[in-house]
Structure 1
């Protein structure tokens, strides 16, 4: 079921399935600024990645002496999240571990997702609480897709990705074939001290670009002639990915994905407790992260 939050600038909708952001409309123009989720291209729009980001080697891991099969990007996006209500300028959802989730991830947790509006900025806060008696190790990340172009008068080449300060991103390389999407341990320099990543059709035919070693506070999708932009806060995230559907002849959307963890390495043994994580919570422990998206359209 969809739920709505709005202020004088934006109307936002989120779906209880996955607590997924599904619409951000500019009230002045009526423009939909989020990818619309065409199932023929990419059926999702802004999934929450939890309790891990990306792929597991072989699609499985071991924990407490048992093996578990799990899909890419974790399980939170596949479950109904309870709608907790609207509290002033914020609406909240919650996913609690259940008998079903424990069959895929044997840890008890509470994942709260809060959407808040302040002017043209939408803040999505994720809070993880360990409600069990064992340590809760997890990865987590965001995956919002933003519609391109902003209108029918522009094409891909009229846009660029722009950091707020010059950067020299280290691209974290991934494998090919059976190892596609798995981290190799190698890196390469994406660019030398520049604030701009030009956008081109087919630039993601080899899949996402995962960047580390960033010091920027924001990464924006900017329409060069008008200055209209969607600005994503990336400060404090160790990894930021950019992605669109490989093989699509023109960019219909672009995802800017701040992550707190990475996919498995190509040589990963599959032991959950050896995976790098966003946090390792003791029983009763709590952790949160925020994603700010500002729509200067």
Structure 2
């Protein structure tokens, strides 16, 4: 099922499968999100929960049981309950149930996804709660993965675009090549730059996971016109940029994460792994991605 909200600038459609934004159009009716061509990449803007990236061995253990887990968790693959779609807001919820706890993740949780339009900005808030009735703490990772259509129109090509920070940066790149797990290596690809040029080969070795950015915003800009899509990444310890290896580039992702992928030498026990947060029963936690569309 899908729900749609709009204001004078934007029309947003969200699917209850994955609580995923599947369409965002501007006032001219131009589609701003990647439209999930399965020959290139089959998603639009998935939610990453209860972990980001991959798990070592594709598994974790808890209470003497081993659980299999694919990339980026499972929230993006499950049906969420639509709580409301009215005015400028869409709100959805995913609750753990017996099947999830038995097969995927043995912890109680409530994940609420709230989309709100404000002018040319979409605010997407993810709230995680550990119910008061839970038997143990809730440890989780979480992140965003929106894909934006590139080029903005038929008169532009890949190299007409660049990622921009709002101040010079020397991003520390955390290495996860070639299998998507952190290797423990890190280094610099760019030093003291305000922009990263987009090319068709930029993501030949997958994404760039940037740690410790000082910038408040990270956006994709059309160099000759100034049209842009900008994410507020302030408060996120990690920001990734990525696109599928298809040429020419058809979309770019700007991905603020509150947690990291697994490392090659991570323990199997879930309780020993790094997390975005650990919630005692009755506690909750929230994060918001605000994205502004000036095009």
What TM bracket, shorter-length normalisation? over 0.9
Structure 2 residue 119 is matched with structure 1 residue 119:
yes
2:159 aligns with 157
Structure 2 residue 268 is matched with structure 1 residue 266:
no
TM superposition shift of 1:85: 0.8
What is the alpha-carbon distance in structure 1 between the residues aligned to residue 247 and residue 193 of structure 2? 27
Structure 2 residue 289 is matched with structure 1 residue 291:
yes
What is the alpha-carbon distance in structure 2 between the residues aligned to residue 175 and residue 45 of structure 1? 24
Structure 2 residue 97 is matched with structure 1 residue 98:
yes
- Structure 2: unaligned runs, 5 residues or longer: none
Q: How many residues align?
A: 292
- Structure 1: unaligned runs, 5 residues or longer: none
1:192 aligns with 191
**Are the counterparts in 1 of residues 5 and 86 from structure 2 also a CA contact under 8 Å?**
no
> Which of 177, 188, 194 is the matching residue for 1:175?
177
Q: Deviations over 1:24-68 (max 9, x none)?
A: 1002x2110000000111000100000000000111001122110
2:137 aligns with 135
TM superposition shift of 1:275: 1.2
TM superposition shift of 1:249: 1.5
Helix, strand or coil: the match of 1:202? coil
What is the alpha-carbon distance in structure 2 between the residues aligned to residue 110 and residue 174 of structure 1? 30
1:203 aligns with 202
1:236-275 maps to which residues of 2 (within 5 A)? Answer: 236-246=235-245, 248-275=246-273
What is the alpha-carbon distance in structure 2 between the residues aligned to residue 226 and residue 195 of structure 1? 17
Structure 2 residue 233 is matched with structure 1 residue 231:
no
**Are the counterparts in 2 of residues 168 and 213 from structure 1 also a CA contact under 8 Å?**
no
What is the alpha-carbon distance in structure 2 between the residues aligned to residue 91 and residue 43 of structure 1? 23
TM superposition shift of 1:194: 1.1
TM superposition shift of 1:86: 2.3
What is the alpha-carbon distance in structure 1 between the residues aligned to residue 17 and residue 98 of structure 2? 18
What is the alpha-carbon distance in structure 1 between the residues aligned to residue 177 and residue 294 of structure 2? 37
What is the alpha-carbon distance in structure 1 between the residues aligned to residue 74 and residue 143 of structure 2? 12
TM superposition shift of 1:269: 2.2
Structure 1 residue ranges (4+ consecutive) displaced by more than 6 angstroms after TM superposition: none
Q: Deviations over 1:69-94 (max 9, x none)?
A: 01110010111000001243211000
1:26 aligns with 26
Q: Deviations over 1:127-186 (max 9, x none)?
A: 00002221000000000000000000000000000001111100001132xxx1000111
**Are the counterparts in 1 of residues 177 and 205 from structure 2 also a CA contact under 8 Å?**
no
Name the TM-score, length of structure 2 as normaliser. 0.97
Name the TM-score, length of structure 1 as normaliser. 0.97
What is the alpha-carbon distance in structure 2 between the residues aligned to residue 133 and residue 3 of structure 1? 34
1:39-54 maps to which residues of 2 (within 5 A)? Answer: 39-54=38-53
CA RMSD, 1 decimal:
0.8
TM superposition shift of 1:202: 2.2
TM superposition shift of 1:193: 1.2
**Alpha carbons of structure 1 residues 46 and 250: separation in structure 2 relative to 1, 3 Å:** same
